[in-house]
Chains A and B, each alone.
Chain A
Amino acid sequence: MSLRILVGVKRVIDYAVKIRVKPDKSGVITEGVKHSMNPFDEIAIEEAVRMKEKKIAKEIVAFSCGPAQCQETLRTALAMGADRGIHVEVAGPQFDTLQPLHISKMLAQLAKDEQIDLIILGKQAIDDDCNQTAQMTAALLDWPQATSASKIEAKDGSLQVVREIDGGLETIKVKLPTVVSADLRLNEPRYATLPNIMKAKKKPIKKLTPKDLGVDVSPRIEVVTVEEPPVRLAGAKVENVDMMVEKLKALGHA
């Protein structure tokens, strides 16, 4: 097998940062806040790199959509082992209303333009937790999908994927080309080595606009308000179970 793999990498607010809502409630504060690659996307890149090392894949293309700083995320992907990057630049207010459907359309078009055999995405982004992009991309391309993958094996021209589902583990076989979304236990991403960081400088990043891919990024949603979760209220002690049931009923919870 000699696959060309497309991996989506999203630049998100770092998982360790304490998120704050903007005073005007239009969104969360991103200015001056530490960003990094979505952890599930790191796992996706790592899987692609391992497939290349096993000679199952021949080329890895990393893709990111967003403002200019996405180049940093792409550089990290290149340092981890991707061969080249594609940056679709979308900035400002348009970026704030980007939805998985927009990204899926871009991925689908890129899959056709770049002759991609396998798309690996993170299962979800840690900022919006949508868990939609992989599924929608597969549907747009009419490709099979294997989501929440915790193990991928290449066998006789198709992939055998173990999926983590509510009931346990499900093993499915998907024909190529296909879309896979990476779950937490798929692998442990490597550190980019210093020599690879230096080499990544020389790897190309192609810049495109949504128009180049025929994707309309006008907003499909309107952000009405963004608020912090309600502050946790103090509890109350009750004497026995009957009293608890009464209280719950009184508060409208039962």
Chain B
Amino acid sequence: MAQLIKSMAGPVPLRRSFLLINRNFSSKSPKQSAGYCFELTPEQLEIQQLARQFSRSEIIPVAAHHDRTGEYPWDIIKKAHGLGLMNHHIPEEFGGSDIGSFESAVIMEEFGYGCCGITTPMDVNNLGQIPVVLAGNKEQKKKYLGRMVEEPLICAYGVTEPGAGSDVAAIKTKAEKKGDHYVLNGQKMWITNAGHANWYFVLARTNLDPKAPAHKALTGFIVDRDTPGLTPGRKEINMGQRASDTRGITFEDVLVPKENVLIGEGTGFKIAMGAFDRTRPTVASGAVGLAQRALDEATKYALERSTFGVPIAKHQLIMNMLAEMAMSIELARLAWMRASWETDQGRRNTYYASIAKAMAADVANKCATDAVQIFGGNGYNTDYPVEKLMRDAKIYQIYEGTAQIQRLIIARELLSRASSNPSS
């Protein structure tokens, strides 16, 4: 007999659930507390929704194609540009989205979920722009940031060289002052977007004295793509993130006008490193997006695939793997949120940014590997989405500061705090 329930009488009891932090879900407005809040603001939720919709409907369907062919994702870039999802850090007065580091990272997590091969070019755009945002004068900002807003253009960040990656202080590309210009000679390597950039942020050595320290010897330049003598190399075929465009660049007597120097000679190192503090949270969030995708795919598969008479999700060793993936993702997410929030508070976030990036990169790799494991033989195969995640994840432990460098940074920050303030 069906139960007859009259809903006329009194109020339908509603479970009072505090701050349901469901990834996707709108919930009651949180009680305003003076301390931490784990809830996104309504605008942040909207931005997350937009990025999520875009990622699921525009990026995911074409990801496998771009991975296979290595084709640069111009279509996606143009669409994202039209929706204001690029140019995160460009101030509003120059027409940029001018969103905080937190919102930028929210977007990158959703994008990383879709395909980090496609979205790394977009994030590197932010990386290339930040030196100009932080250190550029008004004319430089207007000229080089303004054009990025008007059209979907790409820029790149040219610091790494064939002989100097982690050891930025050892870069050899020279910039000699000759009249109103600097003449750049040297080579850069592993520069994302090199083949498609409209301009590059380039770090070069202006002080040739071997005893000069890095924070006095290097200078940041904005270099136009069509400057004679600047030659991007071939597109490198990499293990993963294949849609991204990575190349070497050769500089042969490249003339850069002195107006394109950022701040002044000798300030380049600080600018280059300062950029990382802003972008590490978004790299971390992209990695978390990848990890979340790995978990979602693995969970779905585990509920569908049966062995020994039951869905594999019921086997404890699979449950263990899923649980550990979930644990690490939750923590990595909190880490990038803290790191980006610190920057938005106007504070130096090096400690948190490095923790977030180091953590998220390791988490992404572990989750992608475990996802392949859960898929078993199918996981190794290109018809299933997880082998790509594993290939894409590896670079997160290398670029934007290797896993080892991050740990050195964290330890140095820790030790400097300990020696200056033992009690805190």
A residues near B (Cβ < 8 Å) are 24-27, 31-35, 68-69, 71-72, 75-76, 79, 92-93, 96-97, 191-198, 200-201, 219, 222-225, 227
Cβ A194 vs Cβ B83 within 8 A:
yes
Cβ A222 vs Cβ B6 within 8 A:
yes
Contacts of A25 in B (CB 8 A): 2-3, 5
B377 contacts the other chain (CB 8 A): no
* Segment at the interface with A among B23-31, B299-307, B353-361: B23-31
Contacts of A31 in B (CB 8 A): 14-15, 17
CB distance from B106 to the nearest CB of A (A): 11
Can you name the residue of chain B whose Cβ is closest to the Cβ of A68? B29
B54 contacts the other chain (CB 8 A): yes
Contacts of A201 in B (CB 8 A): 43
Contacts of A92 in B (CB 8 A): 11-12, 14
Cβ B42 vs Cβ A71 within 8 A:
yes
> Which residue of B5, B15, B20, B84 is within 8 Å of A195 (Cβ)?
B84
> Which residue of A68, A97, A198 is within 8 Å of B43 (Cβ)?
A198
The distance in angstroms between the C-alpha atoms of A227 and B50, with both chains bound, is 34
The distance in angstroms between the C-alpha atoms of A51 and B2, with both chains bound, is 50
Apart from A194-B85, A194-B97, list 16 A-B contacts with CB within 8 A: A24-B5, A26-B5, A26-B12, A35-B26, A72-B45, A93-B11, A191-B50, A191-B54, A192-B50, A193-B82, A194-B99, A195-B97, A198-B43, A198-B99, A225-B2, A225-B3
Can you name the residue of chain A whose Cβ is closest to the Cβ of B51? A194
Contacts of B2 in A (CB 8 A): 25, 225, 227
> Which residue of A75, A219, A224 is within 8 Å of B42 (Cβ)?
A75
Can you name the residue of chain A whose Cβ is closest to the Cβ of B87? A194
Contacts of A194 in B (CB 8 A): 47, 50, 83-85, 97, 99
The distance in angstroms between the C-alpha atoms of A183 and B47, with both chains bound, is 27
B46 contacts the other chain (CB 8 A): yes
Can you name the residue of chain B whose Cβ is closest to the Cβ of A225? B2
The distance in angstroms between the C-alpha atoms of A34 and B45, with both chains bound, is 12
Considering only residues 8-23 of chain B, those with a C-beta below 8 Å from chain A are 8, 10-12, 14-15, 17, 20, 22
Cβ B84 vs Cβ A193 within 8 A:
yes
List 3 tightest A-B contacts by C-beta distance, closest first: A194-B84, A193-B84, A195-B84
Cβ B7 vs Cβ A76 within 8 A:
no
Can you name the residue of chain B whose Cβ is closest to the Cβ of A198? B43
CB distance from B188 to the nearest CB of A (A): 31
Contacts of B11 in A (CB 8 A): 92-93
B4 contacts the other chain (CB 8 A): yes
CB distance from B85 to the nearest CB of A (A): 6
Cβ B54 vs Cβ A32 within 8 A:
no
CB distance from B24 to the nearest CB of A (A): 5
Can you name the residue of chain B whose Cβ is closest to the Cβ of A192? B50
Cβ A219 vs Cβ B46 within 8 A:
no
The distance in angstroms between the C-alpha atoms of A197 and B8, with both chains bound, is 40
Cβ A191 vs Cβ B83 within 8 A:
yes
B53 contacts the other chain (CB 8 A): yes
Can you name the residue of chain A whose Cβ is closest to the Cβ of B7? A223
The distance in angstroms between the C-alpha atoms of A193 and B15, with both chains bound, is 35
Can you name the residue of chain B whose Cβ is closest to the Cβ of A222? B8
The distance in angstroms between the C-alpha atoms of A96 and B11, with both chains bound, is 10
The distance in angstroms between the C-alpha atoms of A194 and B104, with both chains bound, is 11
Contacts of B53 in A (CB 8 A): 191
CB distance from B252 to the nearest CB of A (A): 40
> Which residue of B4, B15, B28 is within 8 Å of A224 (Cβ)?
B4
Contacts of B49 in A (CB 8 A): 76
CB distance from B14 to the nearest CB of A (A): 7
The distance in angstroms between the C-alpha atoms of A72 and B82, with both chains bound, is 23
CB distance from B369 to the nearest CB of A (A): 29
Sampled A-B contacts (26; CB under 8 Å): A26-B7, A31-B17, A32-B17, A32-B20, A33-B25, A34-B24, A35-B25, A35-B26, A68-B29, A71-B42, A76-B46, A96-B7, A96-B12, A191-B53, A191-B83, A193-B82, A193-B84, A194-B47, A194-B85, A194-B97, A197-B46, A197-B50, A198-B43, A222-B8, A224-B5, A224-B6
CB distance from A111 to the nearest CB of B (A): 28
CB distance from A38 to the nearest CB of B (A): 15
The distance in angstroms between the C-alpha atoms of A79 and B84, with both chains bound, is 13
**B51-74 interface code vs A (CB 8 A; 1 in, 0 out):** 001100000000000000000000
Cβ A222 vs Cβ B7 within 8 A:
yes
**B339-380 interface code vs A (CB 8 A; 1 in, 0 out):** 000000000000000000000000000000000000000000
Cβ A79 vs Cβ B46 within 8 A:
yes
Cβ B46 vs Cβ A32 within 8 A:
no
Contacts of A219 in B (CB 8 A): 8
Contacts of B50 in A (CB 8 A): 191-194, 197
Contacts of B10 in A (CB 8 A): 93
Contacts of B27 in A (CB 8 A): 32
Contacts of A76 in B (CB 8 A): 46, 49
CB distance from B306 to the nearest CB of A (A): 21
The distance in angstroms between the C-alpha atoms of A192 and B83, with both chains bound, is 7
Contacts of B45 in A (CB 8 A): 72
Cβ B26 vs Cβ A69 within 8 A:
yes
The distance in angstroms between the C-alpha atoms of A206 and B417, with both chains bound, is 51
CB distance from A163 to the nearest CB of B (A): 29
Can you name the residue of chain A whose Cβ is closest to the Cβ of B12? A93
The distance in angstroms between the C-alpha atoms of A228 and B67, with both chains bound, is 43
The distance in angstroms between the C-alpha atoms of A196 and B338, with both chains bound, is 27
The distance in angstroms between the C-alpha atoms of A35 and B27, with both chains bound, is 9
CB distance from A105 to the nearest CB of B (A): 21
The distance in angstroms between the C-alpha atoms of A68 and B53, with both chains bound, is 24
The distance in angstroms between the C-alpha atoms of A227 and B3, with both chains bound, is 10
CB distance from B9 to the nearest CB of A (A): 9
Contacts of A227 in B (CB 8 A): 2
CB distance from B405 to the nearest CB of A (A): 32
Can you name the residue of chain B whose Cβ is closest to the Cβ of A31? B15
Q: Which of A26, A75, A194 has the most CB of B within 10 A?
A: A194
CB distance from A19 to the nearest CB of B (A): 15
The distance in angstroms between the C-alpha atoms of A41 and B206, with both chains bound, is 60
Contacts of B42 in A (CB 8 A): 71-72, 75
CB distance from A212 to the nearest CB of B (A): 22
Q: Which of B12, B20, B46, B97 has the most CB of A within 10 A?
A: B46
